[in-house]
């Protein structure tokens, strides 16, 4: 992950095993920001790759996503077996995706994100955001959080829906 981005992570929802990670990026110097065509290409790649990875994530086909994780992201999830157990528990608890609410790519502090907001069959009133941060083709952040879940975060008041706004 870009060293200009500070990760503030905490575990929430112990019973569900959710990991909340909000990214706080200090302003980057103007000369370090990618040009519009570079940023657009990175966001298009993130959109394509994010969709492909989630297409496999939902039916618990996790090998490609696991291989894309950086060592740091793997360490956050434990082992592939732990990650698989987490996903299987999610399928049992929430069911399949019911409705995609939003989808977006964005660049903040030199990092490119793919964000999908969706509801699920067994909890149709809760909107969940799946956030993937790409460093090249590697996944340097993989987070699932409930919309509005901010706790004592320094950016309290921002929710995943904020990420879906242009």
**Residues 36-45: contacts with CB under 8 Å, at least 24 apart:** 39/107, 39/112, 42/107, 42/112, 42/134, 43/105, 43/106, 43/107, 43/112, 44/105, 45/112, 45/134
In-domain check, residue 65? yes
The pLDDT of residue 21:
38
CA distance 139 to 46: 10
**pLDDT (tens digit, 9 = 90+) per residue, 132-161?**
999 888 999 999 988 766 543 323 333 444
The pLDDT of residue 149:
64
In-domain check, residue 109? yes
The domain of 64 spans 38-149
pLDDT at 32 over 70: no
CA distance 131 to 158: 14
pLDDT at 118 over 90: yes
Q: How many domains would you assign to the chain?
A: 1
The pLDDT of residue 37:
84
């Amino acid at each position: 992950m870009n060293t200009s981005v500070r990760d503030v992570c905490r575990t929430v929802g112990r019973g569900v095993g959710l990991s909340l990670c909000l990214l706080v990026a200090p302003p980057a110097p103007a000369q370090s920001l990618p040009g519009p065509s570079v940023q657009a290409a990175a966001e298009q790649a993130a959109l394509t790759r994010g969709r492909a990875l989630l297409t496999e994530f939902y039916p618990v086909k996790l090998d490609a996503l696991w291989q894309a994780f950086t060592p740091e992201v793997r360490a956050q999830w434990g082992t592939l077996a732990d990650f698989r157990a987490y996903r299987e528990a999610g399928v049992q608890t929430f069911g399949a995706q019911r409705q995609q609410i939003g989808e977006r790519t964005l660049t903040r502090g030199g990092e490119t994100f793919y964000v999908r907001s969706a509801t699920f069959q067994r909890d149709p009133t809760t909107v969940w955001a799946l956030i993937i941060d790409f460093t090249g083709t590697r996944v340097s952040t993989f987070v699932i959080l409930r919309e509005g879940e901010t706790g004592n975060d320094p950016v309290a008041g921002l929710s995943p829906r904020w990420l879906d706004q242009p």
